[in-house]
Amino acid sequence: MGKSTAADLLRQHGLPVVDSDVIARQLVEPGRPALAEIERLFGNEIIGGDGHLRRHALAQLVFLNAAARRKLEEILHPRIRAAWETQLQAWRAQGCSMAIVVIPLLFETEAAAQFDATICVACSATTQRQRLRARGWTDQQIDQRIAAQLPAENKMLLADYVVWTEGPLDLHETQLNRIFQRFP
C-alpha cells in the first residue's frame, strides 16, 4: 500500500517514526522470549539451522489456519503494542509533540483509539498485488494475507485521513504535507 514509503517521507521531514513491522522482526530474533514461545507452539521446524525464524514456514502455517494465526497474534501483538507505547512515552518525556506509529493492523488490533489521528495509506487492489508480486510473493500468499486483514475500503472509511499512493512519489509527499499542516 505504501506504508514504508510514507514512513520514510515522514522521517525525512524530521518526524519520529516507530514501525510495528520492525518491532515484530526484532521480537523474533534468536534468543528472544517471543521466538522461544513461537517455537514451543509451532515446533522447531520453523527455526532454521542458524537459529532464525523461518518466516515463510511460519506464514504457511498461520495463513492457512485462522486459529494458529490468532495464537501467533496472542504472542506478538501485546509485545508489539508494549514496544511502541514505550517508545511514545519516551518521546513524550523528551517533549516531542508529534510522532508516527506505523501499524498495518491498526483497526484489527483496536489500537486506533490510542492516537489523535489516523492515516490510511492505500492504493488500488491491482497496484497492491503488483507491489507484493515484486517482493516475490505468489498470488496465493497475497490472497491469504489480504484475507487476514480488514478490507482496505473499510480502513479508509475508519481513518481520519487517506493518502492515495497510486501516483508519483511527490504526490504522495504532497498529501502527507497537507495532513500535517493541520497540526500545530
Question: Which of residues 80 and 145 earns the better pLDDT score?
Answer: 80
The C-alpha cell that represents 69 in the structure block:
494465526
Q: Do domains 1-16+98-184 and 19-97 have the same CATH topology?
A: yes
| Strand extents, DSSP E, the chain | 17-19, 100-102, 119-122, 161-164
Nearest to 34 by CA among 72, 65, 82: 72
Does 184 or 65 have the greater pLDDT score?
Answer: 65
pLDDT tens-digit readout, 94-129:
999 899 999 999 999 999 999 999 999 999 999 999
Fold of 19-97: Rossmann fold (3.40.50)
Q: Is CATH 3.40.190.100 the classification given to domain 1-16+98-184?
A: no
User: Could you tell me the residue ranges of all domains in the chain?
Assistant: 1-16+98-184, 19-97
> pLDDT value at position 65?
92
How would residue 52 be classed by pLDDT, with cut points 50, 70 and 90?
very high
Q: Are the C-beta atoms of residues 123 and 88 closer than 8 Å to each other? A: no
Task: Tell me the C-alpha to C-alpha distance, in Å, between residue 111 and each of 30, 66, 101, 157.
Answer: 28, 21, 10, 16
pTM of this prediction exceeds 0.85:
yes
- Mean pLDDT, range 70-78, rounded to an integer: 96
